[in-house]
Structure 1
Amino acid sequence: MSLQKLLSQVLIGATLIVGYSAYSPRVSATELRTIPPQSDFDVSHNYFVTLLQVMLDNTSSEYGKSKVAHVVRMEQGRAFYELKRGEIIDVYWAGTSIDREEEYTAIRIPLLKGLLGYRLSIIREDSKAKFQAIKKLEDLRKYTACQGRHWPDSDILESAGINVRRGPIYELMFGQLAAGRCDFFPRGIHEGGPEFLARREKYPNLRLFSDTIVYYPFPMYFFVRKGNLKLAERLELGLERAIDSGEFDQLLKKHPITSTLFPLTQWGEKNIIAISNPLLPRDTPINNSRYWMRPDDLKSKP
């Protein structure tokens, strides 16, 4: 099946499920259950479910045919709770942390090759001049970030001395920013542009700001319940095969949510403020170029 056809089929399936407010009990082991989009504006969801389907297709000869199925919409805290219970969802994707890797089984291959750790911001239009004056971390500490209550990003930013206003619901953070309850909403460089464009009419006083990028090593992984070794092995095998075949890079470079990241050198001349990530497990293989892109990869080569 072509990548374009697969993208279309997964997108149609995700669109049909968005309005569901309840889930159906599992009726078939041939379904891999996960969450639907977080909101009607969740533009990145399709990338991950498309990648999941590629992984399932790559391992169908050993494990049988399977398809991604969506259940109930939920925020990150509840999603991890339900993943641990194992009754509603089988897999979830999120940024990693020491605690998460202790409580769940992580497929330790970054789903965005580490690019999630590069954070541009959505700000208010009237804050543009203030943010253009930011050159270093001390300047950024004057302002308050909106972030999710259960997101590791919140802890990472706070550990760097940045004020964070935590919110329980992803979609409401755009409204909090527009109303002036925080000053900026850091987003992954693959997320910020599409998210801003999707809400431009609803929040006309917001704008995208990418002159300064905050960077911390922060991989996003697929997680499964502890003890679900068969699924963990299947997902790891499927992802490794996608890397070997080139499907992974093809999806990253061609999917609408990530294609705008390329060429990567467009980010190399930005003002990058690097901060540490105290939540990152020490044995995270951040120097393995098979899986990771580092700040030097964003710079033009002589």
Structure 2
Amino acid sequence: MASADITFWNGNKSHIRRQYEKALITLCLQHAKVRNVAFRVDETDYPQPEDEGNIFALGYDALVTVDGNQKFAGKSLIKIQTPLCKDLLSHRLLIINRKKSDVFTSVTTSAELRLLTAGIPATWADADILRSNSCHVYEHGELHDILNALGNGQCDYVPLGANEINAIFNEFKCAERGLVLDPHHVIHYPLPLVFYVNPARADVAHWLTVGLNSAMQSGAFDKLFNEHFPGTFAKLNIKQRRLHRFSNPYLKSVKFD
């Protein structure tokens, strides 16, 4: 790979996030006026956390991940601090088993919610965040595994970002599994998506910073965001839901644009 080429790793995430993040980095490079550079997207999934944490050693130049991702703890990298999904991913809505709908209707406090068990795919950041907030967590397998576990009663709910929950619900045929989207609750903990860049690619970090700032100032970022996540807060009635505000132990205060 020539040094001027860019390889963007876009694995280990939902299809809707892959689409948005691929379009976003393309937009940033366009606004940075990057030309004559080969840009490649690799969507290989790496289920082992150590493989994801060593992604730059595997030859990748940039990725999008949650800020504070512990798989990268202690790793050398360049972080671009600007949140890329506003506050949508921080709002976690719940997929539940239809048979337990009455349980969630009766829950009124965060203390009561903590007594129920969250199902989280292995290596997702949510597991440690929820455990740090005294929640019960069943951590296992990949997303399809944890949805099967929800259907089998091994956990009580699966929290997913407002930006992707409907797409995941449909993609994994949750209704056919006897699952429903809980209409009552939303869990919030700071979970901004940011660019991580290979520490050897300061040029890529510069291009992404310049391009992202330009796209935000021109309105192109908001246009792209709204094309991928149109009216999500209103469609999901997020403001009308019972809010459970939890902390993210890996982040201090986070400002969302």
Instruction: Report TM bin, short chain.
Output: 0.7 to 0.9
SS of match in other structure, 1:116: coil
Task: Work out which of the residue numbers 265, 271, 275 in structure 1 matches 2:242.
Answer: 271
What does the per-residue CA deviation read over 1:33-52, in whole Å, with 9 as the maximum and x for residues that have no partner?
A: 313465xx733210111111
TM-score after normalising by structure 2: 0.87
Would the alpha carbon gap of residues 173 and 29 (structure 1) be closer, same or farther in structure 2, given more than 3 Å must change? farther
Give the Cα–Cα distance (whole angstroms) in 2 for the partners of residues 227 and 244 of structure 1: 28
Letter in 1 for 2:61: D
Give the Cα–Cα distance (whole angstroms) in 2 for the partners of residues 48 and 265 of structure 1: 22
Would the alpha carbon gap of residues 34 and 265 (structure 1) be closer, same or farther in structure 2, given more than 3 Å must change? closer
Would the alpha carbon gap of residues 128 and 47 (structure 1) be closer, same or farther in structure 2, given more than 3 Å must change? same
Contact 1:120/1:213 (CA < 8 Å) preserved in 2?
yes
1:10 — aligned with what? Answer: none
**Which runs of structure 2 are paired with 1:191-230 in the superposition (5 Å)?**
191-200=164-173, 203-230=176-203
2:88 — aligned with what? Answer: 115
Letter in 2 for 1:84: F
Contact 2:190/2:254 (CA < 8 Å) preserved in 1?
no
**Which runs of structure 2 are paired with 1:128-167 in the superposition (5 Å)?**
128-167=101-140
Would the alpha carbon gap of residues 76 and 267 (structure 1) be closer, same or farther in structure 2, given more than 3 Å must change? farther
Q: Does 1:74 align with 2:74?
A: no
Cα offset, 1:236, TM superposition: 1.5
Segments of 5+ residues of structure 1 without an aligned counterpart are 1-25, 287-291, 294-302
SS of match in other structure, 1:93: strand
Contact 2:4/2:37 (CA < 8 Å) preserved in 1?
no
Cα offset, 1:173, TM superposition: 1.7
Give the Cα–Cα distance (whole angstroms) in 1 for the partners of residues 155 and 19 of structure 2: 28
1:84 — aligned with what? Answer: 56
**Which runs of structure 2 are paired with 1:39-58 in the superposition (5 Å)?**
42-58=15-31
Contact 1:190/1:260 (CA < 8 Å) preserved in 2?
no
What does the per-residue CA deviation read over 1:75-131, in whole Å, with 9 as the maximum and x for residues that have no partner?
A: 3725533323142x2222221217547523221111111221111011111011101
Would the alpha carbon gap of residues 201 and 124 (structure 1) be closer, same or farther in structure 2, given more than 3 Å must change? closer
SS of match in other structure, 2:120: strand
Q: How many residues align?
A: 255
- Cα-Cα RMSD: 2.6
Q: Does 1:95 align with 2:70?
A: no
Contact 2:121/2:142 (CA < 8 Å) preserved in 1?
yes
1:236 — aligned with what? Answer: 209
Contact 1:52/1:68 (CA < 8 Å) preserved in 2?
no
Contact 1:111/1:221 (CA < 8 Å) preserved in 2?
yes
